Amino acid sequence: MKADKNIENAKNFTADNNAPVDSAQNEPKTTEAQMSVDQYLEQLHADFDPVYNLLTDYQCAVMEVETKFNILNSRLSMQGEHNPIESIKSRVKDYESIIRKLEKLHLPITVEAVEENLMDVAGVRVICSFIDDIYRIEKCFVSQEDVTLIMRKDYIQNPKPSGYRSLHLIVKTPIYTENGKKDMYVEVQMRTIAMDFWASLEHKLRYKKNLNPDTAEQLAKELEACAQESAKLDEKMLRIRDQIIEDAAAASDNLQDKAEH
Ligand code: GTP
Ligand code: MG
Protein backbone atom coordinates (compact mmCIF):
# COMPACT_ATOMS: atom_id res chain seq x y z
CA MET A 1 0.00 0.00 0.00
CA LYS A 2 2.87 2.40 -0.68
CA ALA A 3 1.80 3.78 -4.00
CA ASP A 4 4.45 6.52 -4.33
CA LYS A 5 7.31 4.08 -3.95
CA ASN A 6 5.82 1.78 -6.56
CA ILE A 7 5.40 4.59 -9.06
CA GLU A 8 9.06 5.51 -8.46
CA ASN A 9 10.11 1.87 -9.00
CA ALA A 10 7.91 1.57 -12.05
CA LYS A 11 9.79 4.52 -13.52
CA ASN A 12 13.12 2.75 -12.92
CA PHE A 13 11.69 -0.38 -14.49
CA THR A 14 10.72 1.27 -17.76
CA ALA A 15 13.99 3.21 -17.93
CA ASP A 16 16.00 -0.03 -17.78
CA ASN A 17 14.45 -1.84 -20.71
CA ASN A 18 17.70 -1.80 -22.71
CA ALA A 19 19.66 -4.02 -20.37
CA PRO A 20 22.77 -5.16 -22.31
CA VAL A 21 23.03 -8.86 -23.23
CA ASP A 22 26.30 -10.79 -23.26
CA SER A 23 26.38 -12.03 -26.88
CA ALA A 24 29.02 -14.74 -26.18
CA GLN A 25 26.96 -16.54 -23.58
CA ASN A 26 23.62 -15.15 -24.67
CA GLU A 27 22.80 -14.35 -21.07
CA PRO A 28 21.99 -10.99 -19.59
CA LYS A 29 24.83 -9.54 -17.55
CA THR A 30 24.17 -8.81 -13.92
CA THR A 31 24.32 -5.11 -14.45
CA GLU A 32 23.03 -2.17 -12.52
CA ALA A 33 19.97 -2.33 -14.80
CA GLN A 34 19.28 -5.99 -13.95
CA MET A 35 19.71 -5.26 -10.27
CA SER A 36 17.09 -2.61 -10.63
CA VAL A 37 14.54 -5.15 -11.97
CA ASP A 38 15.31 -7.44 -9.03
CA GLN A 39 15.01 -4.56 -6.64
CA TYR A 40 11.75 -3.56 -8.29
CA LEU A 41 10.31 -7.06 -7.83
CA GLU A 42 11.60 -7.22 -4.28
CA GLN A 43 9.96 -3.92 -3.51
CA LEU A 44 6.76 -5.04 -5.25
CA HIS A 45 6.66 -8.15 -3.05
CA ALA A 46 7.42 -6.14 0.07
CA ASP A 47 4.58 -3.73 -0.72
CA PHE A 48 1.93 -6.05 -2.10
CA ASP A 49 2.41 -9.44 -0.39
CA PRO A 50 0.89 -8.22 2.91
CA VAL A 51 -2.11 -6.88 0.95
CA TYR A 52 -2.56 -10.11 -1.05
CA ASN A 53 -2.21 -12.10 2.20
CA LEU A 54 -4.85 -9.98 3.84
CA LEU A 55 -7.30 -10.26 0.93
CA THR A 56 -6.69 -14.02 0.80
CA ASP A 57 -7.48 -14.28 4.53
CA TYR A 58 -10.78 -12.48 3.91
CA GLN A 59 -11.50 -14.79 0.95
CA CYS A 60 -10.94 -17.76 3.28
CA ALA A 61 -13.31 -16.24 5.86
CA VAL A 62 -15.95 -15.85 3.15
CA MET A 63 -15.52 -19.51 2.17
CA GLU A 64 -15.84 -20.64 5.81
CA VAL A 65 -19.06 -18.66 6.31
CA GLU A 66 -20.52 -19.74 2.94
CA THR A 67 -19.90 -23.36 3.90
CA LYS A 68 -21.69 -22.85 7.20
CA PHE A 69 -24.75 -21.52 5.39
CA ASN A 70 -24.64 -24.26 2.75
CA ILE A 71 -24.53 -26.89 5.50
CA LEU A 72 -27.46 -25.23 7.33
CA ASN A 73 -29.40 -25.14 4.06
CA SER A 74 -28.86 -28.87 3.50
CA ARG A 75 -29.74 -29.79 7.07
CA LEU A 76 -32.85 -27.63 7.29
CA SER A 77 -34.15 -28.63 3.86
CA MET A 78 -34.10 -32.27 5.04
CA GLN A 79 -36.52 -31.34 7.83
CA GLY A 80 -38.86 -29.06 5.92
CA GLU A 81 -40.60 -28.75 2.59
CA HIS A 82 -38.21 -26.35 0.92
CA ASN A 83 -34.63 -25.08 0.76
CA PRO A 84 -34.64 -22.08 3.11
CA ILE A 85 -31.71 -20.51 1.20
CA GLU A 86 -32.31 -19.52 -2.41
CA SER A 87 -28.76 -18.35 -3.13
CA ILE A 88 -25.59 -16.96 -1.57
CA LYS A 89 -23.57 -14.10 -3.06
CA SER A 90 -20.20 -13.21 -1.62
CA ARG A 91 -17.51 -10.65 -2.20
CA VAL A 92 -14.27 -9.34 -0.76
CA LYS A 93 -13.98 -5.56 -0.95
CA ASP A 94 -11.36 -4.55 -3.52
CA TYR A 95 -8.28 -2.74 -2.25
CA GLU A 96 -9.29 0.55 -3.81
CA SER A 97 -12.58 0.58 -1.86
CA ILE A 98 -10.67 -0.47 1.28
CA ILE A 99 -8.26 2.45 0.92
CA ARG A 100 -11.13 4.90 0.25
CA LYS A 101 -12.94 3.71 3.37
CA LEU A 102 -9.78 4.05 5.50
CA GLU A 103 -9.38 7.57 4.15
CA LYS A 104 -13.04 8.39 4.89
CA LEU A 105 -12.58 7.20 8.47
CA HIS A 106 -9.26 9.13 8.81
CA LEU A 107 -7.41 5.90 9.53
CA PRO A 108 -3.82 5.08 8.54
CA ILE A 109 -3.46 3.10 5.32
CA THR A 110 -2.07 -0.07 6.88
CA VAL A 111 -3.00 -3.74 7.01
CA GLU A 112 -3.44 -3.44 10.81
CA ALA A 113 -5.92 -0.57 10.43
CA VAL A 114 -7.99 -2.68 8.03
CA GLU A 115 -8.00 -5.73 10.31
CA GLU A 116 -8.85 -3.76 13.44
CA ASN A 117 -11.41 -1.30 12.07
CA LEU A 118 -13.12 -2.47 8.90
CA MET A 119 -15.77 -5.09 9.54
CA ASP A 120 -17.22 -5.33 6.03
CA VAL A 121 -14.21 -6.33 3.93
CA ALA A 122 -15.59 -9.87 3.74
CA GLY A 123 -19.27 -9.87 2.82
CA VAL A 124 -21.70 -12.78 2.50
CA ARG A 125 -25.25 -12.14 1.29
CA VAL A 126 -27.76 -14.88 2.02
CA ILE A 127 -30.99 -14.77 0.00
CA CYS A 128 -33.81 -16.66 1.71
CA SER A 129 -37.18 -17.84 0.43
CA PHE A 130 -39.36 -16.49 3.26
CA ILE A 131 -38.92 -13.96 6.07
CA ASP A 132 -39.15 -16.58 8.82
CA ASP A 133 -36.33 -18.55 7.13
CA ILE A 134 -34.04 -15.55 7.75
CA TYR A 135 -34.56 -15.62 11.52
CA ARG A 136 -34.43 -19.42 11.70
CA ILE A 137 -31.10 -19.54 9.87
CA GLU A 138 -29.73 -16.58 11.82
CA LYS A 139 -30.44 -18.39 15.10
CA CYS A 140 -28.65 -21.56 13.95
CA PHE A 141 -25.71 -19.58 12.53
CA VAL A 142 -24.97 -17.32 15.53
CA SER A 143 -25.34 -20.20 17.99
CA GLN A 144 -22.37 -22.00 16.42
CA GLU A 145 -19.38 -22.25 18.75
CA ASP A 146 -16.93 -20.55 16.40
CA VAL A 147 -19.24 -17.68 15.42
CA THR A 148 -19.17 -14.61 17.67
CA LEU A 149 -21.87 -12.03 17.05
CA ILE A 150 -20.35 -8.53 17.16
CA MET A 151 -23.19 -6.41 15.81
CA ARG A 152 -26.79 -6.96 14.67
CA LYS A 153 -28.91 -4.46 12.74
CA ASP A 154 -32.45 -5.53 11.89
CA TYR A 155 -33.51 -3.38 8.96
CA ILE A 156 -36.49 -5.73 8.42
CA GLN A 157 -38.16 -4.72 11.67
CA ASN A 158 -36.79 -1.17 11.29
CA PRO A 159 -36.39 -0.37 7.58
CA LYS A 160 -34.04 2.47 6.57
CA PRO A 161 -35.64 5.76 5.44
CA SER A 162 -34.82 4.70 1.86
CA GLY A 163 -37.06 1.65 2.33
CA TYR A 164 -34.09 -0.75 2.54
CA ARG A 165 -34.79 -3.99 4.40
CA SER A 166 -32.33 -6.74 5.36
CA LEU A 167 -30.89 -8.30 8.48
CA HIS A 168 -27.23 -7.32 8.97
CA LEU A 169 -24.84 -9.26 11.18
CA ILE A 170 -21.19 -8.62 11.88
CA VAL A 171 -19.55 -11.77 13.16
CA LYS A 172 -16.06 -12.90 14.02
CA THR A 173 -15.08 -16.37 12.91
CA PRO A 174 -11.74 -18.18 12.70
CA ILE A 175 -9.83 -19.26 9.64
CA TYR A 176 -7.02 -21.78 9.90
CA THR A 177 -3.89 -20.70 8.05
CA GLU A 178 -0.43 -22.27 7.72
CA ASN A 179 0.52 -20.00 10.66
CA GLY A 180 -2.40 -21.04 12.84
CA LYS A 181 -5.83 -19.73 13.73
CA LYS A 182 -6.88 -16.19 12.88
CA ASP A 183 -10.19 -14.52 13.79
CA MET A 184 -11.76 -12.55 10.95
CA TYR A 185 -14.67 -10.11 10.74
CA VAL A 186 -17.38 -11.02 8.22
CA GLU A 187 -20.48 -8.98 7.35
CA VAL A 188 -23.56 -11.10 6.67
CA GLN A 189 -26.61 -9.60 4.97
CA MET A 190 -29.73 -11.76 5.08
CA ARG A 191 -32.77 -10.91 2.99
CA THR A 192 -35.65 -12.39 0.99
CA ILE A 193 -35.77 -12.51 -2.80
CA ALA A 194 -38.12 -9.50 -2.75
CA MET A 195 -35.76 -7.49 -0.51
CA ASP A 196 -32.84 -8.40 -2.77
CA PHE A 197 -34.74 -7.44 -5.92
CA TRP A 198 -35.53 -4.01 -4.45
CA ALA A 199 -32.02 -3.41 -3.03
CA SER A 200 -30.29 -4.38 -6.30
CA LEU A 201 -32.41 -2.07 -8.45
CA GLU A 202 -32.35 0.79 -5.95
CA HIS A 203 -28.56 0.51 -5.75
CA LYS A 204 -28.30 0.84 -9.54
CA LEU A 205 -30.69 3.79 -9.68
CA ARG A 206 -28.99 5.57 -6.77
CA TYR A 207 -25.83 5.95 -8.82
CA LYS A 208 -27.63 7.72 -11.68
CA LYS A 209 -26.18 11.20 -11.44
CA ASN A 210 -27.29 14.68 -12.54
CA LEU A 211 -30.89 14.43 -11.29
CA ASN A 212 -32.38 17.73 -10.26
CA PRO A 213 -33.18 17.79 -6.51
CA ASP A 214 -36.98 17.78 -7.04
CA THR A 215 -36.83 14.74 -9.33
CA ALA A 216 -34.46 13.00 -6.92
CA GLU A 217 -36.85 13.59 -4.00
CA GLN A 218 -39.84 12.38 -6.02
CA LEU A 219 -37.98 9.23 -7.10
CA ALA A 220 -36.81 8.52 -3.54
CA LYS A 221 -40.47 8.62 -2.44
CA GLU A 222 -41.47 6.26 -5.26
CA LEU A 223 -38.67 3.85 -4.41
CA GLU A 224 -39.74 3.86 -0.78
CA ALA A 225 -43.30 3.08 -1.91
CA CYS A 226 -41.94 0.18 -4.01
CA ALA A 227 -40.15 -1.11 -0.90
CA GLN A 228 -43.45 -1.11 1.00
CA GLU A 229 -45.15 -2.96 -1.86
CA SER A 230 -42.41 -5.57 -1.89
CA ALA A 231 -42.71 -5.96 1.92
CA LYS A 232 -46.43 -6.66 1.42
CA LEU A 233 -45.54 -9.27 -1.21
CA ASP A 234 -43.24 -11.01 1.30
CA GLU A 235 -46.07 -11.12 3.85
CA LYS A 236 -48.54 -12.45 1.25
CA MET A 237 -46.15 -15.20 0.13
CA LEU A 238 -45.63 -16.20 3.77
CA ARG A 239 -49.41 -16.43 4.31
CA ILE A 240 -49.80 -18.55 1.14
CA ARG A 241 -47.02 -20.86 2.29
CA ASP A 242 -48.59 -21.25 5.76
CA GLN A 243 -51.95 -22.00 4.13
CA ILE A 244 -50.36 -24.71 1.98
CA ILE A 245 -48.62 -26.26 5.02
CA GLU A 246 -51.89 -26.21 7.03
CA ASP A 247 -53.89 -27.79 4.21
CA ALA A 248 -51.26 -30.45 3.63
CA ALA A 249 -51.21 -31.29 7.37
CA ALA A 250 -55.02 -31.52 7.45
CA ALA A 251 -55.05 -33.80 4.39
CA SER A 252 -52.47 -36.09 5.96
CA ASP A 253 -54.47 -36.25 9.26
CA ASN A 254 -57.58 -37.22 7.24
CA LEU A 255 -55.72 -39.99 5.48
CA GLN A 256 -54.40 -41.31 8.80
CA ASP A 257 -57.91 -41.26 10.33
CA LYS A 258 -59.30 -43.21 7.38
CA ALA A 259 -56.48 -45.75 7.59
CA GLU A 260 -57.10 -46.30 11.33
CA HIS A 261 -60.92 -46.86 11.00
P1 GTP B 1 -21.28 1.44 5.10
O2 GTP B 1 -20.24 2.46 5.39
O3 GTP B 1 -21.97 1.61 3.77
O4 GTP B 1 -20.76 0.05 5.27
O5 GTP B 1 -22.45 1.65 6.16
P6 GTP B 1 -22.65 0.98 7.59
O7 GTP B 1 -21.40 0.30 8.04
O8 GTP B 1 -23.30 1.99 8.51
O9 GTP B 1 -23.64 -0.19 7.33
P10 GTP B 1 -25.14 -0.21 6.91
O11 GTP B 1 -25.72 -1.25 7.77
O12 GTP B 1 -25.79 1.13 6.92
O13 GTP B 1 -25.12 -0.68 5.38
C14 GTP B 1 -24.12 -1.46 4.85
C15 GTP B 1 -24.54 -2.10 3.53
O16 GTP B 1 -25.95 -2.33 3.46
C17 GTP B 1 -24.28 -1.25 2.31
O18 GTP B 1 -22.97 -1.40 1.88
C19 GTP B 1 -25.29 -1.82 1.31
O20 GTP B 1 -24.84 -3.07 0.80
C21 GTP B 1 -26.48 -2.09 2.18
N22 GTP B 1 -27.39 -0.93 2.27
C23 GTP B 1 -27.60 -0.14 3.33
N24 GTP B 1 -28.52 0.81 3.06
C25 GTP B 1 -28.93 0.61 1.78
C26 GTP B 1 -29.90 1.26 0.92
O27 GTP B 1 -30.56 2.24 1.28
N28 GTP B 1 -30.02 0.74 -0.34
C29 GTP B 1 -29.33 -0.34 -0.77
N30 GTP B 1 -29.53 -0.77 -2.02
N31 GTP B 1 -28.41 -0.96 0.01
C32 GTP B 1 -28.21 -0.49 1.27
MG1 MG C 1 -20.60 -1.55 5.64
Model confidence over 58-113: pLDDT tens digits? 999 999 999 999 999 999 988 876 889 999 999 999 999 999 999 999 999 999 99
pLDDT at residue 29, rounded to an integer = 56
Amino acid present at 36: S
CA 120 to chain centre: 7
At 225, the amino acid letter reads: A
Per-residue pLDDT, 123: 98
3-state secondary structure of 181: strand
- What is the number of domains present in the chain? 1
Asked if residue 6 belongs to a domain, the reply is: no
pLDDT at 254: 78
Q: Which residues touch 136 (CB under 8 Å, ≥6 apart)?
A: 76, 84
Ligand 1 atom closest to Cα of residue 153 = 11
Place 2 in a pLDDT band, splitting at 50, 70 and 90.
very low
Least confident window among 26-30, 166-170, 238-242: 26-30
Residue 63 has a pLDDT of 98
Q: What is the pLDDT of residues 111-168, one digit of tens each?
A: 999 999 999 999 999 999 999 999 999 999 999 999 999 999 999 999 999 999 999 9
Above 50 in pLDDT, residue 12?
no
Quote the pLDDT of residue 60: 98
- The answer as to whether 32 is a domain residue is no
Q: What's the rounded mean pLDDT across residues 192-205? A: 93
Contact assessment for residue 140 and residue 160, using Cβ atoms and an 8 Å cutoff = no
How far, in Å, is the centroid of ligand 2 from the Cα of 83? 28
Confidence of residue 200 (pLDDT cuts 50, 70, 90): very high
CA–centroid distance, residue 99 to ligand 2 (Å): 14
**Degrees, nearest 5: CA angle 158-164-166:** 70
Q: In this structure, is residue 216 part of a structural domain? A: no
90 in Cβ contact with 121 (< 8 Å): no
Please tell me whether residue 237 adopts helix, strand or coil conformation: helix
Indicate whether 183 belongs to any domain: yes
Residue 178 lies in a domain: yes
Ligand 1 atom, smallest distance to 163 CA: 27
Query: 65 is in which domain, residue-wise?
Result: 39-193
Question: Which CATH number do you get for residue 149?
Answer: 3.30.460.10
The answer to whether residue 181 sits within a structural domain is: yes
- DSSP string of 78-134, one letter each residue: HHSSS-SEEEEEEEE--HHHHHHHHHHTT--SSHHHHHHH-S-SEEEEEEESSHHHH
pLDDT bin (cut points 50, 70, 90) of residue 1 is very low
Q: What is the pLDDT of residue 30?
A: 59
Question: How many angstroms is it from 189 CA to the middle of ligand 1?
Answer: 10
pLDDT of 252: 75
So what's the pLDDT on residue 78? 87
116 within domain boundaries:
yes
Residues with Cβ within 6 A of ligand 1?
120, 153, 160, 162, 164, 168, 199, 202-203
Burial of residue 162 (number of CB atoms within 10 Å: 0-12, 13-18, 19+): middle
Is 6 a residue whose pLDDT tops 50?
Answer: no
Q: What is the pTM of this model?
A: 0.82
